[in-house]
């Protein structure tokens, strides 16, 4: 294990040569706020002779009286040593190896203190860092001391460590002062840190809106110029980041701030042209989508990414449909199906939306045409469709944000389906959400039991 520490002259400007140690009686964090399983991990590490700290967002949030979603642990034990202490531990990660201690559905993430990138030729090859030509870290298995680990963290407010040994907080970058001042500062040079991991630009925005803080000029300054680096991030990782941004109750604020810094355009390239006209229907629909999602979260209602992506990509879908109908004379439904494949195919190159969400999104789109044409018995069939509630909400959204020429027709249609629901049992939002989370059933012969043809008598 590495225990190197750079000379004081090499320290980033906002890293302290010695941490400020805040004793238990000078901060508000109590063990009563820490889940039982996190305490179990901390104490077993400590009782086994290792350092054990809560670190990062959980410490920051508890100081701000916000309930943390995750409790992450930092230690000087290697991942293999952590696994030796916990039978319920698995090692994950290629870029930086982590130990996950699993308690049923709860996972406590344990990270070994990270060290600096510079390594000598005689050090083990599995503890080296690698960067691509843009400066992004592609491998980072370099271990070090707690001081080095603090310098490797992204923002000062995340370089706070709660020590289970004496319940004190170690502040390595004046993070407590920045929390009190409501400002987000980067540890080290912002441009260099963004190039190491462009997702830090998204994190800066998310923390600013979540914590009601402002970005320091040194943090916000390079973002527009470097926004395109997000194109180098794996699409699967950006799907997880998009949920943190848009499905956690701060969708509108994140949308507006990301758009300002040219980051939203990297996540949704097909929406670039629509962001230039805030007064027009497409922009209004995008913003209203986030507003409705935020409201549902505040009201403790279920949401599904399927609806979110269906709403955001509606206008690119319409544009592609019109193009296909002009080129090939296709019917509305055929044009929609082809356009849906094209639009979703382009989107998953940026954000890898799983099929368990793209399939329901397509059904929500298809239901818009079916709801417009339904008559007689088909009305009752649609009312009991598993996707009806989402499709109905989507119709209301379209009516609310439509152009003046389309609004009367959509409002009339929405009113019709509102009246049709009286006395009919509609699948609940919870049922719909469970349906979205379940794996899509395979269609056709593949994966199913083959039917035998009935034998014919001779």
Which residues are tagged catalytic? 70, 72, 154
Q: What phi and psi, each to the nearest 5 degrees, are found at residue 136?
A: -80, 135
- Asked if residues 366 and 336 have their Cβ atoms less than 8 Å apart, the reply is yes
Give CA separation, 244 vs 26, 206, 248, 249, 269, in Å. 32, 8, 6, 9, 19
Instruction: Name the pairing type of β-strands 73-75 and 106-112.
Output: parallel
Name which of 217, 222, 181 is nearest 200 in CA terms.
Answer: 222
- Asked if residues 160 and 59 have their Cβ atoms less than 8 Å apart, the reply is yes
H or E element at residue 410: helix 407-420
H or E element at residue 138: strand 137-140
Instruction: Name the pairing type of β-strands 129-131 and 137-140.
Output: antiparallel
Task: Give the separation between CA 22 and CA 30, rounded to whole angstroms.
Answer: 13
Tokens 């439904």 -> residue: 333
- Asked if residues 46 and 73 have their Cβ atoms less than 8 Å apart, the reply is no
Question: CB count, 10 Å around CB of 284?
Answer: 17
- Asked if residues 14 and 177 have their Cβ atoms less than 8 Å apart, the reply is no
Tokens 């389309």 -> residue: 406
H or E element at residue 103: strand 98-103
Q: Exposed/middle/buried for 212, CB within 10 Å: 0-12, 13-18, 19+?
A: exposed
Q: Is the dihedral of CA 241, 246, 248, 253 positive or negative?
A: positive
Question: CB count, 10 Å around CB of 384?
Answer: 11
Task: Give the separation between CA 310 and CA 155, rounded to whole angstroms.
Answer: 34
- Token pair for 103: 């308690």
H or E element at residue 215: strand 214-215
């Amino acid at each position: 294990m590495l225990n190197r520490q750079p000379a004081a002259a090499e320290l980033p400007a906002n890293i302290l040569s010695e941490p400020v140690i805040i004793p238990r009686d000078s901060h508000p964090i109590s063990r009563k706020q820490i889940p039982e399983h996190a305490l179990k991990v901390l104490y077993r590490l400590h009782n086994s002779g290792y350092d054990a700290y809560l670190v990062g967002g959980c410490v920051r949030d508890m100081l701000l009286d916000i309930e943390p979603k995750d409790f992450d642990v930092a230690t000087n034990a290697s991942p293999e040593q952590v696994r030796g202490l916990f039978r319920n531990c698995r090692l994950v990660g290629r870029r930086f190896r982590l130990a996950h201690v699993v308690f049923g559905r709860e996972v406590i993430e344990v990270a070994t203190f990270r060290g600096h990138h510079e390594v000598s030729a005689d050090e083990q090859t599995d503890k080296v860092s690698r960067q691509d030509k843009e400066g992004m870290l592609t491998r980072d298995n370099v271990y070090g001391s707690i001081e080095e680990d603090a310098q490797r963290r992204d923002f000062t407010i995340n370089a706070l460590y709660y020590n289970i040994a004496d319940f004190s907080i170690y502040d390595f970058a004046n993070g407590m002062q920045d929390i009190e001042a409501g400002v987000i500062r980067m540890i080290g040079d912002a441009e260099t840190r963004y190039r190491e991991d462009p997702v830090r630009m998204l994190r800066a925005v998310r923390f600013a809106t979540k914590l009601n803080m402002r970005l320091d000029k040194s943090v916000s300054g390079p973002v527009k110029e470097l926004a395109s680096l997000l194109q180098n991030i794996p699409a699967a990782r950006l799907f997880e980041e998009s949920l943190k941004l848009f499905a956690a109750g701060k969708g509108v604020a994140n949308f507006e701030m990301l758009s300002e810094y040219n980051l939203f355009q990297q996540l949704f390239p097909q929406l670039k042209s629509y962001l230039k006209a805030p007064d027009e229907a497409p922009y209004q629909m995008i913003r209203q989508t986030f507003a409705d999602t935020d409201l549902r979260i505040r009201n403790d209602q279920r949401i599904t990414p399927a609806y979110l992506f269906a709403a955001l990509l509606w206008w690119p879908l319409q544009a592609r449909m019109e193009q296909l109908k002009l080129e090939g004379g296709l019917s509305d439904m055929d044009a929609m199906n082809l356009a849906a494949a094209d639009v979703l195919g382009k989107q998953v190159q940026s954000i890898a939306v799983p099929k368990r969400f793209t399939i329901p999104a397509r059904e929500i789109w298809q239901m818009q045409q079916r709801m417009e044409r339904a008559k007689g018995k088909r009305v009752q069939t649609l009312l009991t469709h598993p996707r009806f509630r989402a499709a109905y909400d989507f119709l209301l959204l379209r009516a609310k944000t439509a152009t003046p020429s389309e609004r009367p027709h959509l409002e009339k249609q929405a009113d019709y389906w509102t009246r049709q629901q009286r006395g009919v049992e509609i699948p609940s939002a919870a049922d719909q959400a469970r349906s979205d989370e379940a794996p899509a059933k395979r269609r056709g012969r593949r994966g199913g039991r083959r039917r035998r043809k009935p034998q014919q008598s001779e």
